[in-house]
Amino acid sequence: MIPTEIIIHCSATRPEWLEGQPLSRAVKTIDSWHKAKGWKGIGYHYVVGRNGKVLPGRPESEQGAHVRGHNQNTLGICLLGGFGGSADDTFNDHFTKEQRLALEKLLVDIQTRHDITILSGHNIYANKGCPCFDVSKEFSLGKITVPQVPSLFDSIIAFISKLFSKV
């Protein structure tokens, strides 16, 4: 599968769902829900925890199962949270700032590997709240800036050039 679109979802769970437990527990639980639907396992490609941790679900190379009629060439990302929400809500109504940063990083990361041309939310394809905000209002492709933390290598180079500039 060659992904060209990313579709955002939410788990529609309460903010405190599986609080204090490893994110792998949530991924396993979602996996069991999707198996119960007769699917081969978790339908999303990524899950973003409340604390900003991200775990893969279904491999990017495999077609997901997350939007009826739109699983071909799309990657599904699920944000934990969104219980009782609607399509008119905002990201901040349901999700944490750690999730916002993690999602932005993930979007950048996916775009380094795939030619993604569309970013959307489940609610534009179905009469559902999911992911309980308007994706087009809050996130965009290509224009995402993630603060760069200098790597150790860059720091060493900077230190050495400082040393030499004093000589």
Kindly list the residues in this chain that would bind Zn ion in the complex (CB under 5 A).
9, 122, 130
Tell me the closest approach of the beta carbon of residue 132 to Zn ion, in angstroms.
9
DSSP for 16-73 reads: TTTTTS-HHHHHHHHHHHHHHTT-SS---SEEE-TTS-EEE-S-TTS---SSTT--TT
Return d(Cα 116, Cα 146) in angstroms, integer.
18
Active site residue 122: yes
Active-site residue identified among 34, 45, 46, 130: 130
Active site residue 44: yes
Tell me the closest approach of the beta carbon of residue 98 to Zn ion, in angstroms.
21
Pair 7, 75: CB distance under 8 Å: yes
Active-site residue identified among 34, 66, 94, 122: 122
* Complex with Zn ion: residue 7 or 115, whichever CB lies closer: 7
Active site residue 162: no
Active-site residue identified among 10, 34, 44, 46: 44
Which tokens hold the place of 120? 């959307």
Active site residue 9: yes
Continuous segment of H or E residues that includes residue 151:
none
* Complex with Zn ion: residue 23 or 65, whichever CB lies closer: 65
Question: Which residues are designated catalytic?
Answer: 9, 44, 122, 128, 130
